[in-house]
Amino acid sequence: MTDLIEFSDFLKVDIRVGTILSAKANAKARKPAYVLEIDFGDVLGVKTTSAQITEEHSLEDLPGMQVLAVTNFPPLRVAGVKSEVLTLATMEEEGRTVLITPSKPVPNGTRLL
């Protein structure tokens, strides 16, 4: 079991929906990864991130996909990429990583509550 948190702690995490505009291989990554450009609408604009999702997601399938991401972590350098958001995914024990997506299309920048 994980540690319990207060609801106010959860509200500090800004999770928003964005649409992937482009995806390319991150050649500098030690483990296979993609560089994603994600549009979060007028609220946040376009943000870049590096994501290790290569086993379950092909480059061709990613553009146009809506995803959820944490948008209020400080930017950091990941394998030569300024990673501005943390794209959310499930990770199984075997390492299979699957992106979290809304069940229906929503406007870019919509906040998870």
Given this model, what pLDDT does residue 2 score?
Answer: 83
Q: How confident is the model at residue 92 (pLDDT cuts 50, 70, 90)?
A: confident
Given this model, what pLDDT does residue 1 score?
Answer: 67
DSSP symbol at 59: G
Predicted TM-score (pTM) of the model is 0.92
CA 104/CA 73 separation, integer angstroms: 26
Question: Mean per-residue pLDDT for 87-103?
Answer: 90
Q: With beta carbons less than 8 A apart as the criterion, state whether 83 and 48 touch.
A: yes
The 10 Å Cβ neighbour count of residue 42 is 9
Given this model, what pLDDT does residue 6 score?
Answer: 95
CA 101/CA 82 separation, integer angstroms: 23
pLDDT above 70 (res 42): yes
Percent of the chain whose pLDDT exceeds 70: 99
